[in-house]
Amino acid sequence: METTSLAASVLVAEDQPEVQHALQLLLKMAGHRVELASSPDEAMAAVHREVFDLLLVDLNYHRDTTSGDEGLKLLEDLRTLRYESPVVAMTAWGSIDLAVEAMHRGACDFVQKPWDNDHLLRIVNKHVESGRTQRRNRRRQQLEMQDAVAVQRRLLPRDLPSFPGLSIAGECRPAGDMGGDYFDVFSMGKKLGICIADVIGHGLPAALMMANLQAAVKVTAAEWLSPSDLCSRVNELVCKNGADDKFISFFYAVLDPQTRKLNYSNCGHNAPILCHNDGSIERLDQGGTVLGLRSDERFHEGSLDLVALDRLVLFTDGIPEAGTSNENEYGELRIIELMKTRGASDHARELLDALLHDVSTHCNQQFDDDITCVVIAAEEFVAETLQAAKS
């Protein structure tokens, strides 16, 4: 009789005491710890208490029943529970159709009663070791993902630069563990670099591409470099290092806090919304196509002046597209209306919190995509101070 050096915990779900005892004795002699369950309900209670190395599950729990329905229902319940341990199905009334159905419901193998001891132990040991390997791999992947999430969160700015008369706030909320959105606001001498981006895609590949983008922006950006030139240089790197099916919508601007002059280039991104203090709206849409499409792409620039009580909102498409259906999307008009209705003295953080709360309420906090937003608010007294200095 085969034994294993790896003692395993095995749950035997079987209603006949004689069969229970025979399986228990066989498995204990092979070095395994055995727990018994006499019904599907007892089996489900056991798996809620403990993670077993393997489940040995009978498909029939009444002697006058040969359909296997009870056991198949148990397999379905285990799959619904997302129970990760391997499950081996057993029945005295086996058929090819029943075995196939058991495998479809989550069983990894099938044994017909009466069983051959050595054959049964080979199956048990094989799947115990395979299950342990799979759990170790999943655990390693989970730890790697946790590390990747931590790294990505560290890449997002914690403290944004502050200047007299300008308030700036930004936030990124990934829809899953890893996001494809990114924003940054950083000082370059006497000027500010402002950017927001969205990778087409999700998960680790999108997060890796976004990390590469952030690194490219940080090493390329300079006070003297125009937004269009930066976008051209970063685009070349994205085309060189990115996948053929991965593109990035990107917006980059340089703001002079003293003059309130803002130069920008929009690379296929949602056009930021500038709400002027007189109620008029301006969209920042000058630039070009998304990054990663053509390495020789050249980008245009737009420019504007921020004046007293202007509010500039940068966002990814997760905000306007938030909603239960296409007919119920949040939309960009709601962003505009919210900015118009907020108090004139609101700072950027208050405006951002109000917008994110409104979007979350609209979609019942059920986001299908990452959401990222940056708000810049110009305060009134700075405009007056600058006007006095000019006169």
User: Domains in the chain, ordered, with CATH?
Assistant: 9-146 (3.40.50.2300), 156-390 (3.60.40.10)
d(CA 280, CA 307): 13
Instruction: Give the 3-state secondary structure of residue 279.
Output: coil
| Residues contacting 70, CB < 8 A, separation 6+ | 40, 59, 60, 61, 62
**Structure confidence at residue 133 (pLDDT):** 83
Query: Does the pLDDT value for residue 180 go beyond 50?
Result: yes
Query: Does the pLDDT value for residue 240 go beyond 90?
Result: no
Query: Does the pLDDT value for residue 102 go beyond 60?
Result: yes
Mean pLDDT over all residues of the chain? 85
What is the band of 288 on the pLDDT scale with cuts at 50, 70, 90? Answer: very high
Angle between helices 348-362 and 332-341 (to 10 degrees): 140
Range scoring the smallest mean pLDDT among 85-99, 301-315, 342-356: 85-99
d(CA 271, CA 248): 14
Q: For 350-384, what is each residue's pLDDT tens digit?
A: 999 999 999 999 988 888 888 999 999 998 754 45
What is the band of 202 on the pLDDT scale with cuts at 50, 70, 90? Answer: low
CA 329 to chain centre: 20
pTM (two decimals)? 0.66
The structure tokens listed for 206 are: 């999108």
| Residues contacting 106, CB < 8 A, separation 6+ | 75, 76, 78, 79, 87
Q: For 47-89, what is each residue's pLDDT tens digit?
A: 999 989 999 998 887 654 556 788 888 888 888 888 888 999 9
Q: Answer yes or no: are the C-beta atoms of 170 and 185 closer than 8 Å.
A: yes
